[in-house]
Structure 1
Amino acid sequence: MTDIATADWWELLPAGIREQVDGYVLQDARMQAIRIVYETGRAHGLGLNDAQLVVHDRYLHHGDRIARTPDCPLDLESLAARAAGAPGRVVAIEAVWDGDTVHDWFVDLLAVTADPAGEHRLATIYRGAAVRHLGDEDPGMLHPSAAAADRAGRALAARLSVPFHFASPDTPDEQAPRWRP
């Protein structure tokens, strides 16, 4: 990271690029906005961290005007409907960790099927969505995404009379053992 403030980086970008970046931000397309800022500012010494901070500042600037990507529903009826639409017979519900540079750690809630064998994403549970879903419930020592996935996954598995599997609810781990029949 350089000593240049994010506002100064923003002003160094050409007006057309700033307009394009704001368009991506207003569409909640964070990665595209970061890519444009990084590629355009790289010639001036702007690094990837700086690009992320510039885009973050644009998110703060636009606030409620951003058309946020809707959260995946975590209510039992919606999850059951999604599971019913999976091809094949649901034999388990599984929660698995994933992560990226935009959302940090999150949990995917999956329906594991047989005939045909496969896994089908029912919901992706990001931190913000998990906090909203949990409301006043304290997740304790769990990451909010893990607490929300555990609660929703157990309820769905009970409704479908199938096992629920979450190999690593306490610690984000993309390599945790997966469910096996």
Structure 2
Amino acid sequence: MRKQARTEWWERLPAGIREEIDGYVLQDAMFAAVRLVVDVGLVRDDVGVAASQLIVGDRYAHYGDRIARTPDNPLDVESLAYRAGGAAGRIVAIEALWDGDTMHDWFVRLLAITADPAEEHALATVYARMARRYLEEGGDCGPRHPVGLAAERAGGALAAHLSVPFHFASPDTPDDEAPRWQPVAPSETGR
């Protein structure tokens, strides 16, 4: 759906619906806004998910800095270690996993992997805007994806701080199907 068609569709909506959608946008509730646009637009006007995302993106552009953005997760070692300290089990590794969606593009989830119980605990999600801000302190990232580089630096620093392995199967290229961390079996360590 082209910009002009989106604008015309938006202007035909009842004021109450526009206010509700804008309310979600101003709260940085992107998925709720997209869902509402699909709900009101799909049957009547064939406005599906892709067009809804563009319409909501237009509203984000309209409001700009007035949007109450969801705060970024901290990437400093102290904050990550504090979060990791809340894990129920013994931390055996820190892992970085690529993920993505149509609103954020690619992002990386940093996880603490525990044993006893065997679980994963979310520590941070690294999005593009926070990666760029985090990397400003460290200079240019060259050809590397800034999200991957920021996640590698923060996750690697945390793993070193905790004296556990860091696993990031695909730090240079977004890949949400990269192999996951696997503990080393005792027979492989020579014990």
* TM-score category, normalised to shorter length: over 0.9
Q: In 2 relative to 1, CA 2–154 (structure 1 residues): closer, same or farther, beyond 3 Å? A: closer
Matches within 5 A, 1:1-181: 1=1, 4-42=4-42, 43-135=44-136, 137-181=139-183
Deviation at 1:4? Answer: 4.4
Q: What is the TM-score of this pair, normalised by structure 2?
A: 0.89
Closer, same or farther: CA 115–8 of 1 in aligned 2, 3 Å:
same
SS in 2 for 1:73: coil
Shift of 1:107: 0.3
Cα offset for 1:44? 2.2
Deviations 1:19-48 (A, max 9, x none): 100100011011111121122122123333
Give the conservation status (yes or no) of the 8 Å contact 2:99–2:106. yes
Structure 1 unmatched runs, 5+: none
RMSD: 1.5
Residues 45-87 of structure 1: CA deviation (Å, up to 9, x unaligned): 3333322222111111111211100000001100010111111
In 2, the alpha carbon distance for the partners of 1:144 and 1:23 equals: 31
Q: Which runs of 5+ in 2 are unaligned?
A: 184-191
Task: Give me the TM-score of the superposition, normalised by structure 1.
Answer: 0.94
Tell me the secondary structure at the aligned position of residue 113 of structure 2: strand
CA displacement at 1:3 relative to structure 2: 7.6
